[in-house]
A = this chain, B = another copy of it.
Amino acid sequence: MPNVIAYIKTRDRPGLLQDVTRSLTGIGANILLSLGYVEDKMAVLLFIIEISREIEDVEGAIRSVVKDPEARIEVSYVGPDAVDILQDFLESRPELAGTLERVLEPPDLHDIILRLSEGAARRALAALSPRTLAWILEIADKQTVEGIVRWVELNRLLQALKELDPDEAVDVLQKIDEQLRRRLLALLPPEYKKQAGALLRYPPDSAGGIMTSSLPVLKGYETAAVALYHLRSGDYDIRDTIAVVDGAGRLLGLVEVSDLLSQPPNARLEDIARRPRVTVSPWEDQETVARLMLRYYLRRLPVVEDDRFLGVIAIEDVAYVLAEEAAEDIAKLVGSEVPVERYVSARIKELVKARLPWLLIIYLIESITANVLKSYEHVIARAAVLAAFIPLIMGTGGNVGSQAVGLIIRALALGEVSERSRSDALLIVRKELATSSIIALAFSLVGLGFAYAVSRSMLVALAVASTLFTVILFADLAGALLPLAARRAGVDPASVSTPLITTIVDVSVAFIYMHIALILLS
């Protein structure tokens, strides 16, 4: 059971704190923390308690002693749901962040501080221990870190970085602009500089950027006992795997701790190391790394360059990569760039910059439809009802195209089909032709009936039905093949966004529909 947080704002009266405390312990609560202050005759109390009863019981226990009908009483589990309550509390008493850090997880504290006004955030950050500040820096995105480093003294920043392992510190340094980063590196102990030099060489979204080199690396002639000794005494990120190398730093293989435990103490590491099935270069893209590890069920993937062992990528870090890449795919799919690392901390200027250029490009392409329709003005003037069906045809075609884009992006992402395989391309064309023929047939029948009912003109109904049929086939094939073409051209297939395919479909509908109508009318 997670702990429970209770926030009470009521008119102050003597004995209030004692009454609430007694009532809470009365229902079996173990009070971990109680904070409070009085302002304008209003008492504000905050309790964090350990209890195995429901939220409602806690609220009832408090109400039974507070008795003020206008009191604001909020109770929730400590965690994401408590962010609102704690934000209100810290906004007026930010210096209490230092006390709250004892009972809150850093991710929750991070979310709260992100939502405070600048003044309150500064004071809350100043109240935190260096250890908690360090954690928050590690969790936060670039934008937030840039804000924090402006608000915190250099000395506290240094203290915080020293609380982190060198490779965690480098993660934070990657989010700080270069000038300040150099200043900090100059002030940090030499082992940080060494690590930074090694890791800052690689882009943050490459294998080198997400690997860790914090694991025991031992020579092949060492024994299982020595390896266990290292795992026991060292402070490593990866504590269940060791890397075994030869004299030249070439990787002989990995050994897991469970293998070590089942070996005699004098077993030589080179004899028990498992040759890695797959290795990657540090320059490899993180998404490729993630797909490789998922496909081959790898927990630790060695990173190797010029035959030298550099580190390993852990599957637990890949989970974060996947969450990030999924978010990026969604952003691209709906047609926006993805510089906005966190919505909550993004400035309006950045949101506009991420969205407007794409919208304008798509607008430019879409404006072709206006020119096409304008050139058929005489057709529409002769039968204005024709115009009534334009959105319906374009919408349907666009949706079919988007579905096809989604299906193929998904199949590519899961590694089910490959853009380099001729037989996969053929398989896709065959499947999509069959599927879209059925869909096109269904829609041209529905469209024929509907258009006739609305327009009472068989000519218009025929124009609608035949355009629907043609456009659905075209939209589906285009939607299915564009992601493949993008991947082949080395472009992320998710950038074949649904707005793009929708726009292409709109332009083709304008041409096809008007042309068919013209033929039928004359």
Contact = CB atoms under 8 A, between A and B. Distances in A.
A488 interface: no
B352 A438 contact: yes
Contacts of A451: 370
A407 B340 contact: yes
A395 B423 contact: no
Contacts of A290: 319, 323
Contact of A334 (B239, B370, B402): B402
Contact of A369 (B362, B384, B392): B392
Interface residues of A, number: 129
Interface stretch (A18-26, A63-71, A341-349): A341-349
Given A334-B402, A384-B381, A407-B343, A322 B315 contact: no
A273 interface: no
Contact of A80 (B258, B410, B415, B434): B415
A371 interface: yes
Contacts of A83: 418, 421
Interface string A399-435: 1101101111111011111101111100100010011
A377 interface: yes
Contacts of A336: 403, 406-407
Contact of A402 (B256, B340, B414, B499): B499
Interface in A240-271: 240, 256-258, 261-262
Contacts of A318: 319
A104 to B, nearest CB: 11
Interface stretch (A6-14, A156-164, A175-183, A353-361): A353-361
Interface string A485-513: 00000000000001100110010011000
10 contacts: A81-B420, A84-B420, A240-B258, A294-B319, A329-B330, A330-B330, A334-B406, A348-B438, A351-B431, A358-B403
Interface of A: 1-2, 80-81, 83-84, 87, 105, 107, 111, 115, 228, 231-233, 239-240, 256-258, 261-262, 277-279, 290, 293-297, 299, 315-316, 318-320, 322-323, 325-327, 329-331, 333-336, 340, 342-344, 346, 348, 351-352, 355-356, 358-360, 362-363, 366-367, 369-371, 373-374, 377-378, 380-381, 384-385, 387-392, 394-396, 398-400, 402-403, 405-411, 413-418, 420-424, 427, 431, 434-435, 438-439, 442-443, 446, 450-451, 454-455, 498-499, 502-503, 506, 509-510
Given A355-B403, A359-B400, 11 more contacts: A2-B278, A84-B422, A107-B295, A239-B257, A299-B316, A342-B414, A362-B395, A362-B399, A369-B392, A370-B454, A391-B394
Q: Which 4 A-B pairs have the closest CB atoms?
A: A334-B406, A326-B326, A387-B387, A373-B388
